[in-house]
Structure 1
Amino acid sequence: MTAIQLESASAQSKHEATLPELGLVCITVSQEVRFRTITRTRYLQFDQKERKKALKSIYEDNLQRLNSALTFCEKHSIKLYRMTSNLFPLCDIEDRIGENLLESMSADLAKIGERAAKLGIRMVLHPDQFVVLSSEKPQVVENSINILQTHARIMDMLGLPRSSWALMNIHGGKSGRGKELIEVISQLPENIKSRLTLENDENAYSTSELLEVCQNAGIPLVFDAHHHICHEKLDSYDDESVTEMFYAARETWDNPDYQLVHISNGKDAFKDRKHSDLITDMPSCYREAPWIEVEAKTKEEAIAHLRDWWEGET
């Protein structure tokens, strides 16, 4: 099944589904899905031969672990998987060792992407906090685009579609720079912009502010209800503004069946920004969400708990 066929088939299946698809974020609370990494400092202590050996071992292991993540998702009927942003560490470093190794593994990456397509698993990405497209510093913006370009290249090698189906989700970054953010987005390469989404946060950008950016930039908004209630200091996920922003965000998606939202709960209090182990509260309107990324500490256990909760209400 091609990437385009997967998009079409999965979109059709959403019309038939009665509940949202729940997404696993990167790793499992168990040891079943874990990834290796290496620090830049340690890497630079090696000579050229040792660098290549170290990265080759990590890349091969992580590719196998990505395949294991698909197996885990298949076993637990999970159709949405957020890949780690550090799948291939230091693949964009100046010595180009990682870049060349990655290129040599292109056929293996393609097989992983093909398997995801056959399993009907949607693969997405959330680049790290260093991606700030609205920064006042040109070097930060340039580095951010380079990071996104590396991620886009990996997604291309996986054979993932250039659309919001295989999204790369980031935050708005530096506050008060919506116009600058729109301008930077307008100039992004197609393999980045076609996948790019923005997510509201707790501090820099309200949902309404980022909604305006998305509308003007022509990219989707990933609505996070917990960020929204923290930013607006609300006392309920069913506050009118939560529902309003959820449906407003849906309008930014070219295909509403691709709409993805995030859910987390506060650990020690409703508006606590630290994530709880499980999800025990969420907006009623989220029952209308096609896809929900579950941002809880216990990962797959939180997904199972949500499913049991919903099944108990039917």
Structure 2
Amino acid sequence: MLGYACLNRTLRDRSDPVRCNRDMRRSTWESEGLPYASELTRQNLADLLTVLRWNRDHDVRFYRCTSTLVPWNSQFDLTELPAYDAIEGLAQRCGDLIESEGMRLTFHPDYWCKLASDSRDTVERSVEAIEYHADWLDLMGLDRSPYYSINVHIGATYGDKAATADRFRDAVRSLSPGARRRLTVENDDNRGLWSVEEFASAVSDRVGVPTVFDYHHHCFTDRGQTFREGFETAAETWDGVRPVVHYSEPKRLRDPEARPQAHARFVSDLPDWLRERADVMIEAGGKERALDRVRSS
């Protein structure tokens, strides 16, 4: 399967835009509280259902949902929302559609979500974020499996990779079963950070967290492995579940001034072997339009 992330530009550009990322600032949360969070959540889930139906009608079976699906969920339990019954019903309809159509839904919490941080407060907030993402998947009735993954980066070494890996493993062990079984970890895009090979040995083999192979990031952290070798290292960590791969091309190919890590708006060359062996998330600014170009090329 091929997929795209978060924003559907076709639906977003309508006169009545469809989007799942309605959010609010702290000041609004403090003044409007649960009733407004509840209404935004209801609208987000209703629009998620619309996006999933659009995906079904266009034969898109892989989708990464935004992490602002439930605004300020760190401050409350889902059952506290005034419109919880309606929200639960919408979530279950989303889950039923995903299952009946053989779709795959994943999440990728924001970059601040660092389970291996040397700040206890950051780790606690990160664990909390993973847990509420797992709650959303539970509300949809989806399996507790990396098939419906919550993907994170380690994102730093804090001057000591071994100690950082220890903290990450400890944080993983502290997760609830539903969160832990869905967690995946992705190779980084900085040469001094984490490679696929390092994740496989320090994380996946030790606590059973599958490694997501990011094709573009592998350019920065290949550690001598070819793309195929890096993918095979990651694929072996998935234990019977079809692997997820992220694929993008550098914006610098068309814009020499762009950062090396920046993603292009479209991609031109998705290797056949990658498509055959994994479900591939196309990470490109063109979103579903980039995916359509890949499929028609």
Aligned mates of 1:148, 1:65 — CA distance in 2: 23
CA contact (8 A) 1:169 1:196 kept: yes
Partner in structure 2 of residue 245 of structure 1: 230
The worse-fitting range, judged by mean Cα deviation, of 72-81 and 270-279 is: 270-279
Please list the CA deviations of residues 210-229 of structure 1 after superposition, one character each: whole Å capped at 9, or x if unmatched. 12121222121100010011
Q: Does 1:291 align with 2:271?
A: no
- Map 1:1-314 onto structure 2 (within 5 A): 21-30=1-10, 31=12, 33-35=18-20, 36-44=22-30, 46=31, 50-93=32-75, 96=76, 100-101=80-81, 103-104=84-85, 105-175=87-157, 176=161, 177-203=164-190, 204-212=193-201, 213-232=203-222, 241-256=226-241, 258-269=242-253, 272-283=260-271, 285-309=273-297
The worse-fitting range, judged by mean Cα deviation, of 25-34 and 74-83 is: 25-34
What SS does structure 2 have at the residue aligned with 1:92?
A: helix
CA contact (8 A) 2:46 2:90 kept: no
CA contact (8 A) 1:206 1:228 kept: yes
The worse-fitting range, judged by mean Cα deviation, of 193-202 and 270-279 is: 270-279
Length-normalised TM-score, structure 1: 0.82
CA contact (8 A) 1:148 1:192 kept: yes
The amino acid that maps onto 1:91 is N
Deviation at 1:98, TM superposition (A): 6.1
The worse-fitting range, judged by mean Cα deviation, of 212-221 and 277-286 is: 277-286
Deviation at 1:173, TM superposition (A): 2.9
The amino acid that maps onto 2:216 is H
CA contact (8 A) 1:59 1:87 kept: yes
The amino acid that maps onto 1:40 is R
Deviation at 1:186, TM superposition (A): 2.5
The amino acid that maps onto 1:179 is D
The amino acid that maps onto 2:248 is S
Q: Unaligned stretches of 5+ in structure 1?
A: 1-20, 234-238, 310-314
The amino acid that maps onto 1:222 is V
CA contact (8 A) 2:270 2:294 kept: no
What SS does structure 2 have at the residue aligned with 1:298?
A: coil
Aligned mates of 1:158, 1:79 — CA distance in 2: 16
What SS does structure 2 have at the residue aligned with 1:231?
A: coil
Aligned mates of 1:296, 1:214 — CA distance in 2: 27
What SS does structure 2 have at the residue aligned with 1:143?
A: helix
Q: CA RMSD in A?
A: 2.1
Length-normalised TM-score, structure 2: 0.87
Deviation at 1:149, TM superposition (A): 0.9
Q: Unaligned stretches of 5+ in structure 2?
A: none
Please list the CA deviations of residues 151-207 of structure 1 after superposition, one character each: whole Å capped at 9, or x if unmatched. 111110110100111111001233121222123213321111100000001122122
CA contact (8 A) 1:132 1:172 kept: yes
The amino acid that maps onto 2:173 is S
The amino acid that maps onto 2:196 is T
Aligned mates of 2:147, 2:77 — CA distance in 1: 30
